[in-house]
Structure 1
Amino acid sequence: MHSSITDVTPPARSALSGLVGNTPLLRISEPLAPAGRGFWAKLEGFNPGGIKDRPGLHMVERARARGDLKPGARIIESTSGTLGLGLALAGMVHGHPVTLVTDPGLENSMTRLLTAYGAQVNVVSEPHPTGDWQQARRDRVTRLMEQHPDSWCPDQYNNPDNTSAYTPLALELATELGHIDVLVCSVGTGGHSAGVSRVLRQLYPDLTLVGVDTIGSTIFGQPARPRLMRGLGSSIYPRNVAYGSFSEVHWVAPAEAVWACRALATSHYATGGWSVGAVALVAGWLARTLPEDTRIAAVFPDGPQRYLGTVYDDDYCAAHGLLDAPPAPEPEVVGRPDEKEITRWTRCATVHDPLRARSPQPQAADPTPHSRPGPGAEPDEDTSDTAATAPEDRTR
């Protein structure tokens, strides 16, 4: 009998991947939207490490299937945290050592957690002169790969597997909601906004995709500036961002995201970090202003645990001026992404690829772990998720 049980029980490592996906869906209403109105939030924080468990596992599995990642070879990648958790999980499942390159902005708690999961954490000490911490990390990845000739880099910013990883998430949303009119996603690498919207638009051709970025991010054509929020935004141009798929983009400031995170916590017991707050703020406004029967889905990439020392720390928030006032009831509006430098919640219905706007020549995807820094980019604290070529996206 014991032998029979052993035969049908999957190995512990393979069973780990079964923990990812089929995350809960929660209806969000007051105080972000009035009673009787609201939006549906996909709670990706219920994955073991957050939304990027999906691409972490998928990119590794596809690379192994193609032979790009040899058995036992080292995985080396740049991360601001969340993808690192997904890659640590994938390395554990498939037997690969993992090296994660990050910067001093990574929370100590996240460093300790990644180390506990068996990953090596490599921290760059200086930002790149034009590409900031993000490019400095990617340059370090290149040097580490030269030291490990059989190593493999997922290159989440440009890897199309980063977007296709979100097909199951899209199908979960379609099954749970039956119909979706508006999808709201944060943008860092561009992966989940591209991957989810591509699948949903095949099912619902009139789907509206709303992107949510942070101030100081260069993804949609703003100048790169130092950024407090991690997990969305970028100081480089990820080629996974599906610019042609977006109907509009909103930029959100840190204080506005903090307010939304805390409002969610006190009203719904389901909240998260910077990306969750920014997405909730925008989705709540859409629920207030669109027709009452509009079905809005929003992706919440993570939970609150990582942000206990930032978003949910009164001293930290006070020191950064994040508790001064609630956000405005509606965003400012600009006609073009480069109309002015944005410093508060702002909306723009004109979305284009900043690289194509500056050059008549199409920009090819960069297959190396480097990306193009924005003009005049200054040191920032980094990102995690971005988009792909249309009709895909950008993670972040």
Structure 2
Amino acid sequence: MNSSLLPVLPPAPARLLAATSLPVHTPAGLVGDTPLLWVGEPFTPAGRGFWAKLEGHNPGGIKDRTALYMVARARERGDLLPGAPIVESTSGTLGLGLALAGVTFGHPVTVVTDPGMETMMTGLLTAYGADVQSVTRPHSTGGWQQARRERVGELLAARPDAWCPDQYHNPDNVAAYRPLAHELIAQLGRIDALVVSVGTGGHSAGIAHVLRGYFPDLRVTGVDTTGSTIFGQPAAPRLMRGLGSSIYPRNVDYTLFDEVHWVAAPEAVWAARALARDHYATGGWSVGAVALAARWLAGQLPAEARIAAVFPDGPQRYTTTVFDDAYCREHHLLGHQPADAPEEIGFPGERTVTRWTRCTTVTDPLASTAPLGADATGCDLAEAAR
């Protein structure tokens, strides 16, 4: 009998199910266990590369993790009562996470943003049931970020039952990223270096603290944007969103960093576009900046070093900015291939940086003595109003 005519039997059902994700009953179950992708040449030098943790595979990005965790802990403590509103400032990604948490736990969500929010993000947040409010003018010293936070304070004062996650200072924002660190260990086994963007300080502190406990010699590289005050540079207008700050988030753990890299917007755009072209995996401002620093680090460390770079989100929200030629031409972002290596400064206040620059002296700009009101939160402002 001709064996080629025999029917091919499918594998047993148990074998079919073994390699698939389990069904989930709530959208929160879609968060976590994100993939890890090797990024090598042609983006990196031959024989060198790094591992990219693709947090864009979460429904809304990396901040789905912290939004769900902060909301769950607040409910456990009784800080957030059943059905009470959630109010927070966001440049976008946390808003998506809070909308997810609102659907999961049954809370109305109001997010305060500014005119820099992409139209697509506003549409998505609205579709997911969030009330999106936008401030119209920047704060005189704290920029759009402080203006958003002051508006949060006003909303909280008007709604005594409302709760503010205060992502910039909430320690739950740090604790939320322990599972991500554990995923990295399970995926890589050994990690020699970590490259992370820094904004609220949550995922950089949460991941690095856990990894340093397992790997004491871990090298941690923080990535910021030019014009950000986090690591001691003077405040300046910032085009990039999702990393950097014009205030001093207390969740940033300066003791964990071996070095900081500041990256300018044109350099991040170049890296994000090169990643898309070469590896079909990319994201926006933060991803481009992180990839640029990780690319350089891969050329500095031994070829066998295992470098983990966290990509906070994917490219979708950036189709009208980072990946839009008209937008990039308007803001002079094209045609600026970065240098092969960053400039170096000896300490953060040595001079104002305007391009990719590295510093191995990392200290807290406030030296643990923040002046009164210097980084007041929206929640603080609400308490004062009450």
1:184 alignment counterpart: 195
1:59 alignment counterpart: 70
Instruction: Provide runs of 4+ in structure 1 moved above 6 Å.
Output: 360-367
One-letter amino acid of the structure 1 residue matched with residue 129 of structure 2 = G
One-letter amino acid of the structure 2 residue matched with residue 328 of structure 1 = A
Give per-residue Cα distances to partners, 1:14-42, cap 9 Å, x unaligned.
52111000000000011331222100000
1:305 alignment counterpart: 316
SS in 2 for 1:111: helix
- Note if contact 2:247-2:375 (Cα within 8 Å) is conserved in structure 1: no
Give per-residue Cα distances to partners, 1:19-72, cap 9 Å, x unaligned.
000000000011331222100000000000000000010000000000000000
Distance 1:249 1:41 in 2: 19
- Note if contact 1:41-1:298 (Cα within 8 Å) is conserved in structure 2: yes
- Note if contact 1:356-1:363 (Cα within 8 Å) is conserved in structure 2: no
Q: 1:60 to 1:149 in 2, by over 3 A?
A: same
Distance 1:241 1:146 in 2: 27
Give per-residue Cα distances to partners, 1:244-284, cap 9 Å, x unaligned.
11000000011110110011001110000000000000000
The residue correspondences of 1:41-56 to structure 2 (distance < 5 A) are 41-56=52-67
Extract unaligned runs of 5+ from structure 1. Answer: 1-11, 372-396
Instruction: State whether structure 2 residue 243 is matched by structure 1 residue 232.
Output: yes
One-letter amino acid of the structure 2 residue matched with residue 136 of structure 1 = A
| Equivalent in 115, 120, 126 of residue 104 of structure 1 | 115
Q: 1:307 to 1:367 in 2, by over 3 A?
A: closer
SS in 1 for 2:344: strand
What is the Cα deviation at residue 325 of structure 1? 2.7
One-letter amino acid of the structure 2 residue matched with residue 111 of structure 1 = T
The residue correspondences of 1:112-191 to structure 2 (distance < 5 A) are 112-191=123-202
2:231 alignment counterpart: 220
Instruction: State whether structure 2 residue 261 is matched by structure 1 residue 241.
Output: no
Distance 2:241 2:374 in 1: 27
Distance 2:376 2:218 in 1: 29
| Equivalent in 52, 73, 89 of residue 100 of structure 2 | 89
- Note if contact 1:310-1:316 (Cα within 8 Å) is conserved in structure 2: yes
Extract unaligned runs of 5+ from structure 2. Answer: 1-22, 382-386
| Greater Rg by CA | 2
Instruction: State the TM-score, normalized to the length of structure 2.
Output: 0.90
Instruction: State whether structure 2 residue 81 is matched by structure 1 residue 74.
Output: no
Instruction: State whether structure 2 residue 263 is matched by structure 1 residue 252.
Output: yes
Distance 1:68 1:303 in 2: 32
Distance 1:168 1:339 in 2: 37
Instruction: State whether structure 2 residue 379 is matched by structure 1 residue 369.
Output: yes
Distance 1:218 1:114 in 2: 28
One-letter amino acid of the structure 2 residue matched with residue 164 of structure 1 = A
Instruction: State whether structure 2 residue 42 is matched by structure 1 residue 24.
Output: no
- Note if contact 2:54-2:311 (Cα within 8 Å) is conserved in structure 1: yes
Over aligned residues, Cα RMSD in angstroms? 1.9
- Note if contact 2:64-2:100 (Cα within 8 Å) is conserved in structure 1: yes
Q: 1:177 to 1:311 in 2, by over 3 A?
A: same
The residue correspondences of 1:236-385 to structure 2 (distance < 5 A) are 236-356=247-367, 359=369, 369=379
- Note if contact 1:32-1:281 (Cα within 8 Å) is conserved in structure 2: no
Distance 1:215 1:316 in 2: 19
Distance 1:151 1:177 in 2: 41
2:209 alignment counterpart: 198
2:14 alignment counterpart: none
- Note if contact 1:355-1:363 (Cα within 8 Å) is conserved in structure 2: no
* Bigger mean CA deviation after superposition, 31-40 or 175-184: 31-40
Q: 1:161 to 1:175 in 2, by over 3 A?
A: same
